[in-house]
Structure 1
């Protein structure tokens, strides 16, 4: 097992402030985009829905939305990615969220406690579980090599890699600085993490990385700080071109808001001279998140279904619901298939 460091994306924290770093993000993104296309493609990618749940509109469509609904809906999905390395198959699960334990994240636990059961049942829809999806795909838990999340908000990994691990051979790919931050959270971070659940997890179950790496043919992890300090994005090269996935934004149209029909997005971005709309439940470093989204935007190819939008696949994708007027997306991907 050996990953290839992406030198092109190293040392992007240049002097001159966030504007200079934005310029560098565009330049380096274009360069890596050309490099990455030559690495090949994975053997296969499938998408499986996990859960649809409510999320504050003011966070998901940061400052831009004019929807009257205080909440919108997002759908968490898992990607299963396979490739061959040194003659053997590798399997990566991207965003294999244990939503049963994730509900104890402080913010969502508080929200659940303040929401009548009858309303919560209408707003939360479980589509499937990680074990159930893998069983139907014919993947044994011991065959999974890697687990990866764009960041560790809401994640409780005890069932996956704890004392009796469901995935006995898997390691969690995580940015070293996010893992370190769990030991002493800032107040802005505390509503979104479950740090106590990490205390007894074996250190060897984690695979900390520093920065951006190519994992295998057409599969890369790109560091995209901002939403959290250790944010990372999945980048995959497929039969339709390059896709990028993270939770930096919650809809493909947040990268090209000039084409959005969501109330407020196009006009707000024109007025404020911003080209993207952030997902900003935590504003750890907002300018860095903006720059990271521009890097993602630079890497992603245009959608073959509608070229106004990019092949950016939100790990939590905006999902229309009658309960949330004004938040139905103009365009949705729903899945990546390769």
Structure 2
């Protein structure tokens, strides 16, 4: 990420919807992190009705991309008693479509990971180098590509308005938005596959990528961002209502610029991020994962974090409480919430003791 980008160099934020100011000032709440936690819960509870009143999008489709290994000690922060050092998570893309008040159609891709280029992320590249190739086929399952899923849904690349990730760990966007200079590993200049798309990202994360801390470095590919044109980014500060029933809120902690997708659907409000890897991590008292319920009870912790870089564990905990207070309960099993992990814990015979108690697998919505 090139330091020194200015507001005039990036895309115009006026094309996005209204700011969400309900959570402004959280960092400045007096009284410490406990006071901020109570503040976040109260504000989120109050904001639910306001967000629901914005309506619902036209459609939401869920597209499986890849299932891959992930360290158990990260995904189930200190709580798991499973013998397996790895669990499996499935990364999924959401395709959200809505209509503006003037009739314009919008398409947002949430978590459209370029899985092939994502393998170059330092952590996963090092893991792959240590695992014999025959075993990699047991650990990694590809389900479909971003472009193939869009073709199946009848969405053309030119129709895509926005790309968004909860955070930019592992991401390489060069093929999606093009490059300003030739790329040796991609065979030269890269034309954008999504020529009209802008990338919605928190400004805090762009700033962090300009000067990564050692705890962050294993999970980012900053060199991949140096060739991107600044104008492809829509750097936001805080929350936005993007369209009817489609919003984002800032949820710092997992990374400094983490953000959560909010969706109002026919079953109520959902949230999606990678702050936790299973919806049962928001209600661990109902989890059958070995050790999780007991650990939460012993330590008096209400949620089980997905803890990779530990940039700000307290703030991440508070962000998950905010997410928990925003969403509705699952209609399939009311013990669990409509939190949809952008990378969801997935049962795998190779990883004993890590099978989820409950999985959403998808969000389906048609208005």
Q: Which residue of 2 aligns with 1:306?
A: 333
Counterpart for residue 133 of structure 2: 117
Deviations 1:212-241 (A, max 9, x none): 110000000010000000000000000000
Residue 4 (1) aligns with residue 22 (2): no
List alignment gaps of at least 5 residues for structure 1.
none
Deviations 1:161-205 (CA, angstroms, capped at 9, x unpaired):
123100000000000010111111000000000000000101110
Matched position secondary structure for 1:160: helix
Matched, 1:262 2:277: no
Q: Distance in 2 between matches of 1:203 and 1:173?
A: 12
Aligned to 2:8: none
Instruction: Give the alignment's TM-score, normalised by structure 1.
Output: 0.99
Alpha carbon RMSD of aligned pairs, Å?
Answer: 0.6
Give deviations 1:22-79, integer Å, cap 9, x for gaps: 0000011011112101110000000000000000000000000000000000000000
Aligned partner of 2:188 in structure 1 is none
Structure 1 position 127 matched with structure 2 position 108: no
Who is 1:103 aligned against? 119
Measure, in 1, the Cα distance between the counterparts of 2:26 and 2:114. Answer: 34
| 2:155 equivalent among 139, 142, 149 | 139
- Alignment of structure 1 residues 1-338 onto 2, 5 Å: 1-13=15-27, 14-85=29-100, 86-163=102-179, 164-338=191-365
Render the CA deviation track for 1:135-178: whole Å, top value 9, x for unaligned.
11111101000000000000000010123100000000000010
Aligned length in residues: 338
CA distance in 2, matches of 1:8, 1:248: 20
Structure 2 length normalisation: TM-score? 0.92
Runs ≥4 residues deviating over 3 A: none
C-alpha contact (below 8 Å) 1:9/1:32 kept by paired residues: no
CA distance in 1, matches of 2:159, 2:329: 33
